[in-house]
């Protein structure tokens, strides 16, 4: 154990604040170096050009090195730099952080002072201490992360979920640890998650049976039909439709804003990405191709002699089927289930969301939102990146680096595909 780790050793907290400029860190440590002190901890924050630098160092112990002299030298250096300095004596390292560590991500659009106060108060009421706060993103939403200790992540999640819904912000609580960085498979629902549409409705519009399809959907929502019954009833209404409609529907599908950014960034980070859908392979296979997805599974519309038969072939992908597919994709990707992320909006997605290491309800119905680990209610799919601790800056830096690389490759090099500006 080194001297600085010994809890009895005298330490000094040197806090510097003022206008940021180059050379402050070098200048401070250069000044401290004359007293042969050791560094125990350093933290620095710069916000709108104002800097706060905290250095926890051992007190000078060697003969001839005097604490009073160190204080005077640091103060006079700070003055010469037009900075303020505060030096606080104590012993040992920072107080150990409490057990129970979480990352609490708060998404607001906008994020108000009132909602921030409410979240912070709830963290305190749950026994948590906020050790660190930083901004993950300012666009398309304001996202901040609180590093919290002293409260069990599950208790914190429950306490914050109800408050978040009431004040209109999204809060995700993820327990801290290396596993957060190790999540390596993301599986998404398609209709109203990856895309803005419900694919069956796009087909129904071509068959002129939107109203009948909507009636069956409503009956299913009332619990009068289960998913499989409602799927068969709705697909039956498409019987006789020309197969050329498949291409039209593929062209009509609108990706959710942020979908390309999410997938592109996850792929760069080495994630595998898949989709599961109660919709149709005629659309999901096309999405797999266009978006470079690793996995896609859905129901298949039967086509005979160039016409839809009104039947589906193969095993039905329903609520249980989606969870089964998540497990299968995880096994194929060699990723433990605890390291998977599932995203969905419907009751059909609940088993999958619960089976995943992190289940994200995306602009979901209340019943789904309440049952999932976390909810995103802003209409941007890339907000999921912030729940994984990835900052907007990192996303943009990666985009810029790739654009520069494809620029070097010549005019034929293709940069990231446009994504509604993202
Ligand atoms: Mg859906």
* pLDDT confidence of residue 129: 92
The 3-state secondary structure of 368-421 reads HHHHCCEEECCCCCCHHHHHCCCCHHHHHHHHHHHHHHHHHCCCCCCCCCCCCC
How far apart are the CA of 293 and the centre of ligand 1, in A?
18
- Tell me the two tokens of residue 7: 């809890």
* pLDDT confidence of residue 146: 94
* pLDDT confidence of residue 190: 97
Catalytic residue, candidates 93, 170, 191, 399: 191
* Euclidean distance between CA atoms 283 and 296, whole angstroms: 10
* pLDDT confidence of residue 413: 36
In three-state secondary structure terms, 88 is strand
* pLDDT confidence of residue 5: 52
Q: Which residues pair with 303 in a beta bridge?
A: 308
How far apart are the CA of 343 and the centre of ligand 1, in A?
9
DSSP 240-302: T-BTTHHHHHHHH--BPTTHHHHHHHHHHTT-EEEEEEEEEHHHHHHHHHHHT-SEEEEEEEE
* pLDDT confidence of residue 294: 97
- Does domain 10-91 fall into CATH 1.10.10.10? no
* Euclidean distance between CA atoms 82 and 104, whole angstroms: 36
Interior CA angle at 357 toward 333 and 399, to 5°?
65
pLDDT in tens, 77-105: 999 999 999 999 988 877 777 778 899 99
How far apart are the CA of 261 and the centre of ligand 1, in A?
20
* Euclidean distance between CA atoms 21 and 50, whole angstroms: 9
* Euclidean distance between CA atoms 211 and 234, whole angstroms: 11
CATH architecture of 101-176: 2-Layer Sandwich (3.30)
* Euclidean distance between CA atoms 55 and 74, whole angstroms: 12
Distances (CA, A) of 269 to 184, 264, 315, 395: 9, 9, 33, 10
Contact 292, 266 (CB under 8 A): no
* Euclidean distance between CA atoms 200 and 287, whole angstroms: 16
How far apart are the CA of 44 and the centre of ligand 1, in A?
43
Contact 355, 363 (CB under 8 A): no
Distances (CA, A) of 326 to 46, 149, 350: 42, 32, 12
CATH architecture of 186-398: 3-Layer(aba) Sandwich (3.40)
List per-residue pLDDT tens for the chain, 422 residues long.
454 455 678 899 999 999 999 999 999 999 999 998 999 999 888 888 899 999 999 998 765 568 899 999 999 999 999 999 999 998 887 777 777 889 999 999 899 999 999 999 999 999 999 988 999 999 889 999 999 999 998 899 888 887 887 888 999 888 887 666 677 899 999 999 999 999 999 999 999 999 999 899 888 877 788 889 999 999 999 999 999 999 999 999 999 999 999 999 999 988 999 999 999 999 999 999 999 999 999 999 999 999 999 999 989 999 999 999 999 999 999 999 988 999 999 989 999 999 998 999 999 988 888 888 888 989 999 999 998 888 998 899 888 988 898 886 544 434 344 455 45
How far apart are the CA of 111 and the centre of ligand 1, in A?
27
How far apart are the CA of 49 and the centre of ligand 1, in A?
44
Contact 203, 243 (CB under 8 A): no
- Is 399 considered catalytic here? no
How far apart are the CA of 193 and the centre of ligand 1, in A?
6
How far apart are the CA of 28 and the centre of ligand 1, in A?
55
* pLDDT confidence of residue 410: 46
**Every domain of the chain and the residues it spans:** 10-91, 101-176, 186-398
* Euclidean distance between CA atoms 357 and 422, whole angstroms: 27
Q: What are phi and psi of 346, to 5 degrees?
A: -110, 170
* Euclidean distance between CA atoms 327 and 336, whole angstroms: 9
Strands (E), 32-99: 39-47, 50-58, 84-91
Interior CA angle at 245 toward 239 and 248, to 5°?
150
How far apart are the CA of 415 and the centre of ligand 1, in A?
30
How far apart are the CA of 143 and the centre of ligand 1, in A?
25
In three-state secondary structure terms, 7 is coil
Write down the pTM of the prediction. Answer: 0.82
Catalytic residue, candidates 41, 93, 189, 285: 189
- Is 242 considered catalytic here? no
CATH topology of 10-91 equal to that of 101-176?
Answer: yes
In three-state secondary structure terms, 153 is helix
């Amino acid at each position: 154990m080194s001297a600085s780790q010994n809890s009895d050793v005298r330490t000094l907290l040197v806090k510097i604040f003022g206008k940021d400029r180059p050379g402050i860190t070098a200048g401070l440590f250069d000044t401290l170096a004359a007293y042969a002190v050791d560094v125990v901890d350093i933290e620095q924050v710069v916000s709108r050009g104002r800097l706060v630098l905290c250095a926890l160092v051992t007190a000078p112990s060697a003969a001839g090195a005097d604490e009073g002299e160190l204080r005077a030298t640091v103060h006079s250096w700070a003055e010469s730099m037009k900075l303020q300095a505060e030096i606080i004596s104590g012993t040992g390292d920072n107080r150990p952080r409490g057990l129970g560590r979480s990352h609490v991500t708060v998404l607001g659009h906008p994020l108000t002072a009132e909602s921030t106060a409410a979240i912070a108060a709830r963290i305190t009421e749950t026994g948590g201490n906020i050790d660190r706060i930083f901004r993950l993103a300012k666009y398309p939403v304001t996202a901040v992360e609180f590093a919290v200790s002293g409260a069990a992540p599950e208790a914190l999640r429950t306490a914050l979920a109800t408050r978040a819904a009431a004040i209109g912000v999204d809060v995700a609580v993820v327990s801290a640890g290396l596993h957060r960085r190790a999540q390596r498979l993301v599986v998404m629902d398609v209709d109203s998650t990856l895309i803005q549409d419900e694919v069956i409705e796009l087909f129904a519009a071509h068959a002129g049976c939107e109203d009948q399809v909507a009636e069956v959907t409503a009956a299913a929502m009332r619990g009068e039909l289960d998913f499989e019954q409602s799927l068969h009833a709705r697909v039956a209404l498409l019987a006789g439709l020309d197969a050329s409609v498949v291409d039209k529907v593929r062209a009509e599908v609108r990706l959710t804003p942020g979908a390309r950014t999410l997938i592109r960034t996850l792929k760069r980070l080495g994630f595998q990405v898949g989709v599961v859908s109660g919709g149709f392979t005629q659309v999901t296979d096309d999405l797999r191709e266009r978006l470079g997805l690793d996995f896609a599974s859905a129901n298949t519309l039967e086509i005979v002699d160039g016409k839809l038969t009104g039947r589906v072939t193969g095993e039905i992908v329903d609520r249980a089927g989606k969870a089964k597919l998540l497990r299968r994709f995880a096994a194929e990707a060699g990723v433990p289930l605890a390291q998977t992320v599932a995203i969905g909006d419907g009751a059909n997605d609940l088993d999958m969301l619960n089976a995943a290491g992190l289940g994200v309800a995306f602009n979901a119905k209340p019943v789904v939102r309440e049952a999932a680990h976390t909810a995103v209610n802003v209409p941007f799919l890339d907000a999921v990146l912030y729940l994984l601790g990835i900052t907007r800056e990192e996303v943009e830096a990666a985009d810029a680096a790739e654009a520069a690389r494809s620029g070097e490759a010549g005019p034929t090099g293709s940069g990231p595909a446009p994504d509604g500006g993202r």
